């Protein structure tokens, strides 16, 4: 069983739409959680850390459900520039476990 699982998509949504990604993790003792964004032929870049109480950064909202062991990312009012692959990342000890990513394309 993989440490972190994500729906690979692709998600194709019109501009202005709201889109949500979910991610599940297997280790209940996982300590920190993140969403990364990766553009084509670029490195993964930290989008946001995910806190137990949930957190928001502009149009992006991240939620953590420890009981069900899943993390979510909500993007409101999608922009063309949001098109990318979104990676769910879970930290345990010094190890980071990456999901395979969810591909998003925002269509004009």
By CB under 8 A, name the binding residues for other proteins: 31-34, 42-46, 49, 87, 89, 91, 94-96, 98, 100-101
C-beta closer to other proteins: residue 60 or 76? 60
C-beta closer to other proteins: residue 37 or 75? 37
* Torsions phi, psi for 8 (to 5 deg): -70, -15
CB of 85 to other proteins, least distance (A): 10
Residue 73 vs residues 93, 94, 96: alpha-carbon distances, Å: 23, 24, 18
Residues in contact with 89: Cβ distance below 8 Å, sequence separation at least 6, in sequence order: 4, 33, 34, 35, 36, 96, 97, 98, 99
CB of 17 to other proteins, least distance (A): 26
CB of 31 to other proteins, least distance (A): 7
CB of 87 to other proteins, least distance (A): 7
C-beta closer to other proteins: residue 70 or 97? 97
What span, in angstroms and rounded, lies between the C-alpha atoms of 2 and 98? 10
C-beta closer to other proteins: residue 78 or 85? 85
Residue 87 vs residues 9, 77, 108: alpha-carbon distances, Å: 12, 20, 23
């Amino acid at each position: 069983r993989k440490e972190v699982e994500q729906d690979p998509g692709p998600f194709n949504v019109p501009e202005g739409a709201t889109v949500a990604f979910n991610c599940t993790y297997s280790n209940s003792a996982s300590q920190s959680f993140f969403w990364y964004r990766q553009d084509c032929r670029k490195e993964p870049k930290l989008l946001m850390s995910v806190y137990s109480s949930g957190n928001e950064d502009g149009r992006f909202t991240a939620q953590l459900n420890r009981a069900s062991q899943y993390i979510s990312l909500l993007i409101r009012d999608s922009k063309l520039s949001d098109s990318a692959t979104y990676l769910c990342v879970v930290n345990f000890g010094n190890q980071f476990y990456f999901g395979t990513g969810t591909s998003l394309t925002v269509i004009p």
